[in-house]
C-alpha cells in the first residue's frame, strides 16, 4: 500500500513529464494568452502586492502577467528562500539585480523590501478538479501561506499550470493548501467549494 507522499511523488513525476514534452514555442504562446486571460478576469486596487515567480524548467512563464499587473499599478514581489524551510517575498524593482535562489530560479537580493502579497500566483506540479495541488515537494508555499494567515491575511491564491498537468485525484493530506482558482491555457477556473487550508509542509 503506497502512502499519499509516494502517490504524490509518482503523480508529480508523470505530470511534469507531460509538461516537459510541450513544445517551447507553444508554451510561450500559451503563457502570453494566459496573461491576457488573467488581466481580463481579475480586479485589484493599485498598490496591491502581487507575488509571482521566476519560471524554471518548463513552467508557465508568468513574467508577461506580472509586467501587465505592474503596468496597472500592482507592486510585485518574488519568493526568496532563506533556508530549507523558510520562504519570504521580496519586492521586485525594475533595474535591481536578481540573485540565484537555487532550483534554477531567481529572486531579489537581501536589500529588497520584504512584502506580504495579497494576490499570489502559485506554481505547481499537478492539480485535480477539486483545486487540490501538488507542489514540488519541499512545502515552501504551504508554510509561507500559513505564515501570512497567522498574520491575519487571506491572500487570493491563483494556481498556475498547463492543462496537461491535471490528474484524476490528488491524495488528501491535512497540511495541503487547496487553491480556489487555477489559470491554465483553457481559462481561469474557479473551485467554489475549495477550502484553502495549510499547517506545515508537503
What pLDDT, on the 0 to 100 scale, is given for residue 137? 82
Tell me if 134 is assigned to a ligand binding site. Answer: yes
What pLDDT, on the 0 to 100 scale, is given for residue 195? 44
Higher pLDDT residue, 107 or 179? 179
CATH code (residue 145): 3.40.50.10420
pTM of the model: 0.90
Tell me if 12 is assigned to a ligand binding site. Answer: yes
Tell me if 75 is assigned to a ligand binding site. Answer: no
At residue 109 the predicted structure's pLDDT band, cuts being 50, 70 and 90, is confident
Tell me if 135 is assigned to a ligand binding site. Answer: yes
**Within a domain: residue 8?**
yes
Q: For residue 28, what are the domain limits?
A: 4-190
Residue 89: partners with Cβ closer than 8 Å, 6 or more residues away:
49, 51, 77, 78, 79, 80, 114, 115, 116, 117, 144
How many domains does one find in the chain?
1
Tell me if 9 is assigned to a ligand binding site. Answer: yes
Grid cell digits, residue 87: 520562504
pLDDT at residue 199 tops 50: no
Tell me if 109 is assigned to a ligand binding site. Answer: no
Tell me if 10 is assigned to a ligand binding site. Answer: yes
Amino acid at each position: 500500500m503506497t502512502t499519499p507522499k509516494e502517490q504524490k511523488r509518482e503523480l508529480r513525476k508523470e505530470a511534469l513529464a507531460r509538461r516537459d514534452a510541450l513544445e517551447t514555442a507553444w508554451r510561450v504562446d500559451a503563457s502570453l494568452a494566459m496573461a491576457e486571460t488573467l488581466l481580463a478576469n481579475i480586479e485589484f486596487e493599485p498598490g496591491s502586492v502581487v507575488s509571482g515567480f521566476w519560471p524554471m524548467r518548463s513552467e508557465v512563464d508568468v513574467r508577461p502577467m506580472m509586467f501587465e499587473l505592474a503596468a496597472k499599478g500592482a507592486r510585485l514581489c518574488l519568493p526568496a528562500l532563506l533556508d530549507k524551510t523558510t520562504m519570504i517575498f521580496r519586492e521586485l524593482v525594475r533595474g535591481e539585480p536578481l540573485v540565484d535562489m537555487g532550483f534554477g530560479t531567481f529572486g531579489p537580493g537581501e536589500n529588497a523590501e520584504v512584502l506580504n502579497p495579497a494576490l499570489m500566483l502559485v506554481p505547481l506540479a499537478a492539480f485535480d478538479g477539486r483545486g487540490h495541488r501538488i507542489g514540488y515537494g519541499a512545502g515552501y508555499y504551504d508554510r509561507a501561506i500559513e505564515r501570512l494567515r497567522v498574520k491575519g491575511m487571506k491572500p487570493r491564491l491563483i494556481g498556475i499550470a498547463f492543462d496537461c498537468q491535471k490528474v484524476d485525484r490528488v491524495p488528501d493530506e491535512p497540511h495541503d493548501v487547496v487553491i480556489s482558482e487555477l489559470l491554465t491555457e483553457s481559462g481561469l477556473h474557479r473551485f467554489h467549494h475549495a477550502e484553502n487550508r495549510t499547517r506545515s509542509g508537503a
